[in-house]
Amino acid sequence: MRAHRSLILFWLVLATLVAACAGPSPSGPGAPDGGDSVGRTEPTRMTVAIRGDPKSLSAKLNSAAGAGGTPGAAEIEEMVNAGLGIRLDTGVIHPQLAENIPTVENGLWKVFPDGRMETTWKVREGVRWHDGTQFTTDDLLFTAMVERDADLPIFRDVSHDSIESLDAPDPRTIVVTWSRPFVEADTLFTSTRGLPMPRHLLEQTYLEDKENFTNHPFWASEMVGTGAYKLQDYVLGSHLVLQANDRYVLGRPKIDQVEVRFIPDPSTIGANILAGEVDTTLGGRLSIEWGIQIRDQWSAGRMEITPPTAMISAYPQFMNPSPPVIGSQQFRQALLYAVDRQQIIDSLTGGLAPIGNSIIPEDDADYRDIERSVVRYPFDPARASQMIQSLGYNRGTDTMFRDSSNQPLSVEMRTQSTDDAQMKTMLAIADFWQQAGVAVEQLPVPQQRAQDREYRATRPAFELVRQPGRTRNLIRFYGPNTPLPDNNFTGENRTRHVNPEFDALIDRFYSTIPRQERMPTLAQIVQYMTDQVLILPMYWDPTPTMVSNRLANISDFGEVWDVHLWEVR
């Protein structure tokens, strides 16, 4: 009996010692739960740097409807808020809040003989907003109402032009009836078209004070979403802190807390990385040249190059351009012949960037179908000079072109002053054009004017920008998306080129469901864009993403669709 009592006492003392050594159990909003807490006493944390200072957590508001996006804003929004699905750069759509993405094969996407369509989504069970309110299809109906409102063009999406009606037979099911085919119907209520909005938080302002709808604190410091992370703290001009969402429908994130630092200057980002203060970068707008410099000094991490999805191009002004010759197809073609794009690529990206010949990159699944339709402009300065001369210009003694009244041929080119790659590209283009006899006034756009929609839309000549490509971005060249005074200069058609016949091609593309029937239309679109030189494409910009060795389980560098699976070693 004594031996038995001694054994019990021994185990009690041992258990007490083990408990004391283990320390207090994690608690509070950042504490890991379930199996993740085993063997860990403190929350896991990750620090992210973005090259921007977002004034809002809405990508649409940050982009100022075409004036230029804030790097990293879209990624933050996708971490905080979720859509029915999430579209990757590859074009694949993963279900997120929805159980399945509608397809013809699963019967959730029906195409009728008269051209009308029907798509059905079923919301996963148990989806809740961060404040605990149940997410229902009423939120989707409210979102659609906002996105269809002509008084709020900043939220408007072209998909709603094809929607006949939306019906929610129950809190988890929404059925959309389409008056005509729309090839991207499966992207409704995603970050591509517009993420869901919480009706219980925004409806009153929308109904009673619509003019201040975009000023609601929800879009910044009080954003409530359904995503993997919820907003804990937001300091304008500095940083924000995200906390793991215990109720995230795809599973609680493995990293408990994420700090996102707003650092517009790449050099400062680099210093933070090398000091061990930043684990990874998001949002792009960092050059390969910069990435290589950091990589070579950073033993605690590496550089991952993500396939380029955006192309750096010179966008001409088609509406009242100055000088007027910019409206000449031949002049724009000559300017493209005058640039040695491969030399720019070799100099700025170490030869890693593909030349931008069209809005469809060569790694795109549709490229083979449109390849023969691409009009190409190899470097040919002699041809460029002849083409400009045939427009009535003659070279002066200073080798620069002048018109019949002896006025020099000069164009303005703008780009954002804070973007190193764009600034260097602008300098290189200007040098080639000046060698060809065209004077260039280079104008770096300061940060404070970058979101001025009117200023950027009404430029006299060219703006050098980085814009996404592939078929899903054809809508950026659609006439009705032109920024004008009547719509407060909203819209993504930066060139302000308007041609009803070209718009009809875009309409036809988006309304043709069978791929084999859609590709000939895409070929016509590409042929028109490259022949008319709607943009002067330079190169597809590869994006360096810096990643600390302490991060693991990242499937798609630069993307956040699987952020709930990321881990800290």
Written as one string, the DSSP assignment of 355-423 is B--SSS-TTSTTHHHHGGG-------HHHHHHHHHTTT-EE-TTS-EE-TTS-B-EEEEEEETT-HHHH
Structure tokens at 40: 């860990």
- Average pLDDT on 472-498 reads 90
- What is the C-alpha to C-alpha distance for residues 78 and 191, in angstroms, rounded to an integer? 7
- What is the C-alpha to C-alpha distance for residues 86 and 79, in angstroms, rounded to an integer? 11
- Note the pLDDT of residue 18: 35
CATH code for the domain defined by 227-303+545-568: 3.40.190.10
Least confidently predicted of 88-97, 193-202, 258-267, 367-376 = 88-97
CATH 3.10.105.10 given to domain 310-541: yes
- What is the C-alpha to C-alpha distance for residues 53 and 67, in angstroms, rounded to an integer? 15
Q: Helices marked H in 97-169 — which ranges?
A: 137-147
Stretch(es) of the chain classified as CATH 3.90.76.10: 82-215
- Average pLDDT on 206-217 reads 94
Single-letter amino acid, residue 370: I
253-282 pLDDT, tens per residue? 999 999 999 998 899 999 999 999 999 999
| Residues 339/538, Cβ–Cβ less than 8 Å | yes
- Note the pLDDT of residue 30: 34
- What is the C-alpha to C-alpha distance for residues 29 and 26, in angstroms, rounded to an integer? 10
pLDDT at residue 425 is higher than 60: yes
Residue 222 CA neighbour count, 13 Å, CB half? 8
Average pLDDT, the chain: 89
Stretch(es) of the chain classified as CATH 3.10.105.10: 310-541
Other C-beta atoms closer than 10 Å to the C-beta of 42 total 11
Listed residue (154, 131, 156, 157) closest to 214, CA to CA: 154
- Note the pLDDT of residue 505: 95
- Note the pLDDT of residue 89: 67
Which residues are within 8 A (CB) of 456 and not within 5 positions of it... i.e. 6 or more apart?
67, 68, 414, 445, 449, 450, 463, 494
E strands, 74-201, are 85-87, 93-95, 109-111, 117-122, 163-170, 173-178
pLDDT at residue 62 is higher than 80: no
Neighbour-count burial for 487-514, b at 16+ CB within 10 Å, e otherwise: bebbbbbbbbbbeeebeebbbbbbbbbe
Strands 439-445 and 536-540: unpaired
Q: What is the largest CA-CA distance in the chain?
A: 118
- What is the C-alpha to C-alpha distance for residues 545 and 288, in angstroms, rounded to an integer? 9
- Note the pLDDT of residue 7: 34
Q: What class does CATH assign to 82-215? A: alpha beta
Stretch(es) of the chain classified as CATH 3.40.190.10: 227-303+545-568
4-40 pLDDT, tens per residue? 333 333 333 333 333 333 333 333 333 334 334 444 5
64-91 pLDDT, tens per residue? 544 457 888 889 999 999 999 988 766 6
